[in-house]
Chain A
Amino acid sequence: MEFLVASSIGLLTMCGTYMLLRGRTFPVVIGLALLSYAVNVFLFAMGRLTIDMPPILRDGVTEYTDPLPQALVLTAIVISFGMTALIVVLSIRAYLEIGNDHVDGRPVGEPSEAGDKN
């Protein structure tokens, strides 16, 4: 199970980083989403991987899973969800206003000075 979780985090991070480095906003948004998935699973694994244990700590209970990372992941999910929504709206707005979906505001292939005139 450790191998499965670790390799999936690695794969998600790899794909996310690649997409993040693309020049257009849509792959960048997908890349950010993949990275946030990877980091959520990573945070979850930081409380150690256990199966079928309650996330409760009380007297007499010796076998439990760490509840704190679950709370952290929940917060992280909420925040990254909101951020993804924001950046989707912003990309659409930028596309409508600038006229293309390149993160530098210029079509691929044009020289760099072209975007800086206004």
Chain B
Amino acid sequence: MGHWIVVPIVLPAVMAALIVLAVRHDIVLQRIFSITSTVALVAVTLSLVIFANNNNPEMYALGDWPAPFGIVIVLDRLSAMMIFLTSILGLGVILFASSEWDKRGQHFHALFQFQLMGVNGAFLTGDVFNLFVFFEVLLIASYGLMLHGAGAERLKAGMQYIVINLTGSTLFLVGVGMIYAVTGTLNMADLAIQVPQVAAGDAALLRAGALILLLVFCVKAALVPVHFWLPGTYANAPAPVAALFAIMTKVGAYSILRVYSLGFGENAGDMAWLAQPYILPAAIVTLAIGMIGVLAAKRLNGLIAFSVIGSMGTLLISIALFTPESISAGLYYLLHSTFAGAALFLVGDLVASRRGAIYGDKLETAPVFHQSGLLAVLFFVAAIAMAGMPPLSGFIGKLMILDAARDSDLSVWIWSVILVTSLMCIVGFGRAGSVLFWKSASAEGVIEVEGATWPVLPIVAACGMLCALVALTVFAAPIMDYLQGTAAQLFDTTDYIRAVLGEIPATQPGQ
């Protein structure tokens, strides 16, 4: 694939610079540039997915320095799928934001492109330190987006979000440092070779480093007990940004999957499946707490944010089982929950903006608002998806996760928690929907909000997210074929290592 592999990182970076430097005074040109870039990104990543589907993993050496000395980016089935997901989600979000949101502050489109660059880079990189750098790129952009069109509440939540992530970055460096000290490498493929050869005396240090790194990824993935930043951040972020952040928690999940299946996976000797005993119980608790939050939420955005935590719990349960079946099921649920979370945030914003400043997204009975019929339908579909009811993809995903969990030691816990929390999620969304759309009939009058006519782009974007969910359901079989291949590739790491390091070098003693 040659240089095409690096395009998903370079294209948004160039576009962002261009938008800041050349067209920063013209919002229309900014929109054109930003949307064009994202459409091109969708096309490129789609062709990368098709390429990855038919070929072995391929490496791109930045600056042509050979691995493990230079920084490499690697395209395999998993990373191709993740960047494709990112660009589709990005397209929906940018269409939504281009009607009105992007005018509420400066540089929305430039920050958005930088965010895409950071996320794509984190998915593509084959180097742990480079992963840190791309984490920082996406976080810096997300700080700007989070504070877009600030207000007191948003500044307060943004401050906490930034402090927790800066602390996370510090821990990331500590973990990376310890791993480097013991193995002498930060290249993920090289780690897979070095980790089993670590001297027994250094094993504890390596284990500690790897688990500190795990903690950082769990912060990103909003796993209990380090989930507390998410509800405040997502509920107070601008709606399109919250929808884009649906991919940010998945960056954490992806990193866990990548690092702990490659470096600390099956072939890691004493360190094999290092992460499993910690993630699985935490993920079960995460799911329970998320859905309790759904029941307790007083505001629509808070309800959606807690349902995102719950879906991360479900996703990480299936990842933490670390079997080929559970990982392919988990990846399907990952695709699903990204679109479902994003769709809910977009629809939630349409609802809140029509209920005016007084009611907003509070879950209280308010008079009828404009287009409540259409929005009720959209909300209903998105809520069905998030709760995992048939006929949409959430149901298929949960079914496959339950099936994959059959042989686990904790299968009783997994089954009961997933099933009970699904009911709680249905109740929570049912209550929210009836308060927002049905009970309004009992109140007098109609809420008149200026400008709440038929905004084409936001409704198209929200419908697009829901169409993606329908497509996931309709094409579940071919998608599952791809995902089973992905899981197989994650378990058989030889192709990945060969792509990065050439022929696998002969056994050398650790440093």
Residue positions of A touching B, CB distance < 8 A: 20, 25, 28, 32, 35-36, 39, 42-43, 46-48, 68-69, 72, 75-76, 79-80, 82-83, 86-87, 90-91, 93-94, 97-98, 103-105, 115, 118
- Asked if A46 and B170 make an inter-chain contact with CB atoms under 8 angstroms apart, the answer reads no
**Cα–Cα, bound, A47→B184 (Å):** 9
- Asked if A93 and B155 make an inter-chain contact with CB atoms under 8 angstroms apart, the answer reads yes
- Asked if A86 and B140 make an inter-chain contact with CB atoms under 8 angstroms apart, the answer reads yes
- Tell whether A68 pairs with B163 under 8 Å between CB atoms, given A98-B155, A105-B156: no
B158 interfacial by beta-carbon distance below 8 Å: yes
Contact with A along B141-152 (1 / 0, CB 8 A): 001000100111
- Asked if B177 and A91 make an inter-chain contact with CB atoms under 8 angstroms apart, the answer reads no
- Other than the given A39-B174, A42-B174, A46-B181, 14 more pairs (CB < 8 A) read A32-B170, A39-B173, A42-B173, A79-B133, A83-B136, A86-B143, A87-B162, A87-B163, A90-B143, A90-B158, A94-B158, A94-B159, A98-B152, A98-B155
Chain A residue numbers with a CB within 8 Å of B140 are 82-83, 86
Chain A residue numbers with a CB within 8 Å of B151 are 97
**Cα–Cα, bound, A42→B156 (Å):** 32
Nearest to A44 among chain B residues (CB) is B177
Determine how close the nearest CB of chain B comes to the CB of A93; give it in whole angstroms.
Answer: 6
Chain B residue numbers with a CB within 8 Å of A97 are 150-152, 155
**Cα–Cα, bound, A118→B158 (Å):** 16
B167 interfacial by beta-carbon distance below 8 Å: yes
Determine how close the nearest CB of chain B comes to the CB of A13; give it in whole angstroms.
Answer: 9
**Cα–Cα, bound, A97→B147 (Å):** 13
B372 interfacial by beta-carbon distance below 8 Å: no
- Asked if B163 and A103 make an inter-chain contact with CB atoms under 8 angstroms apart, the answer reads yes
B56 interfacial by beta-carbon distance below 8 Å: no
- Tell whether A46 pairs with B159 under 8 Å between CB atoms, given A35-B167, A35-B170: no
Which of B156, B167, B180 sits near A94, CB closer than 8 Å?
B156
Chain B residue numbers with a CB within 8 Å of A36 are 166, 170
B434 interfacial by beta-carbon distance below 8 Å: no
Chain A residue numbers with a CB within 8 Å of B150 are 93, 97
Chain A residue numbers with a CB within 8 Å of B176 are 43, 72
- Asked if B177 and A69 make an inter-chain contact with CB atoms under 8 angstroms apart, the answer reads yes
Chain B facing A: main interface SS: helix
Which chain B residues in 274-327 approach chain A with CB under 8 Å?
none
B202 interfacial by beta-carbon distance below 8 Å: no
Determine how close the nearest CB of chain B comes to the CB of A102; give it in whole angstroms.
Answer: 9
Chain A residue numbers with a CB within 8 Å of B174 are 39, 42
**Cα–Cα, bound, A118→B154 (Å):** 11
Residue positions of B touching A, CB distance < 8 A: 129, 133, 136, 140, 143, 147, 150-153, 155-156, 158-160, 162-163, 166-167, 169-170, 173-174, 176-178, 180-181, 186
- Can you report 22 A-B residue pairs in the complex whose CB atoms are below 8 A from each other? A20-B163, A32-B163, A32-B170, A35-B167, A36-B166, A39-B177, A42-B174, A42-B177, A43-B173, A47-B180, A68-B186, A72-B173, A72-B180, A79-B133, A79-B136, A80-B169, A83-B136, A90-B147, A91-B159, A97-B151, A105-B153, A105-B156
**Cα–Cα, bound, A28→B281 (Å):** 32
**Cα–Cα, bound, A97→B149 (Å):** 13
**Cα–Cα, bound, A110→B150 (Å):** 25
7 residue pairs, one from A and one from B, having the closest CB atoms: A105-B156, A46-B181, A46-B177, A94-B155, A43-B177, A39-B173, A35-B170
Chain B residue numbers with a CB within 8 Å of A80 are 166, 169
Which of A32, A72, A93 sits near B167, CB closer than 8 Å?
A32
- Tell whether A32 pairs with B166 under 8 Å between CB atoms, given A72-B129, A90-B158, A118-B153: yes
- Tell whether A103 pairs with B160 under 8 Å between CB atoms, given A79-B136, A82-B140, A118-B152: yes
**Cα–Cα, bound, A69→B162 (Å):** 26
Nearest to A68 among chain B residues (CB) is B180
Nearest to B172 among chain A residues (CB) is A39
**Cα–Cα, bound, A68→B162 (Å):** 28
**Cα–Cα, bound, A32→B159 (Å):** 13
**Cα–Cα, bound, A75→B129 (Å):** 10
Which of A48, A82, A103 sits near B159, CB closer than 8 Å?
A103
Nearest to B130 among chain A residues (CB) is A75
- Tell whether A98 pairs with B173 under 8 Å between CB atoms, given A46-B178, A72-B129: no
Nearest to B165 among chain A residues (CB) is A83
- Asked if A86 and B162 make an inter-chain contact with CB atoms under 8 angstroms apart, the answer reads yes
Nearest to A16 among chain B residues (CB) is B170
Determine how close the nearest CB of chain A comes to the CB of B385; give it in whole angstroms.
Answer: 30
Determine how close the nearest CB of chain A comes to the CB of B85; give it in whole angstroms.
Answer: 27
Determine how close the nearest CB of chain B comes to the CB of A98; give it in whole angstroms.
Answer: 5
**Cα–Cα, bound, A82→B169 (Å):** 13
Determine how close the nearest CB of chain A comes to the CB of B136; give it in whole angstroms.
Answer: 5
Q: For B136, B153, B159, B174, which residue has the most chain A Cβ atoms within 10 angstroms?
A: B159
Determine how close the nearest CB of chain A comes to the CB of B416; give it in whole angstroms.
Answer: 33
Chain B residue numbers with a CB within 8 Å of A75 are 129, 133
Determine how close the nearest CB of chain A comes to the CB of B427; give it in whole angstroms.
Answer: 24
Determine how close the nearest CB of chain A comes to the CB of B199; give it in whole angstroms.
Answer: 15
- Asked if B180 and A69 make an inter-chain contact with CB atoms under 8 angstroms apart, the answer reads yes
Determine how close the nearest CB of chain A comes to the CB of B218; give it in whole angstroms.
Answer: 19
Determine how close the nearest CB of chain B comes to the CB of A38; give it in whole angstroms.
Answer: 8
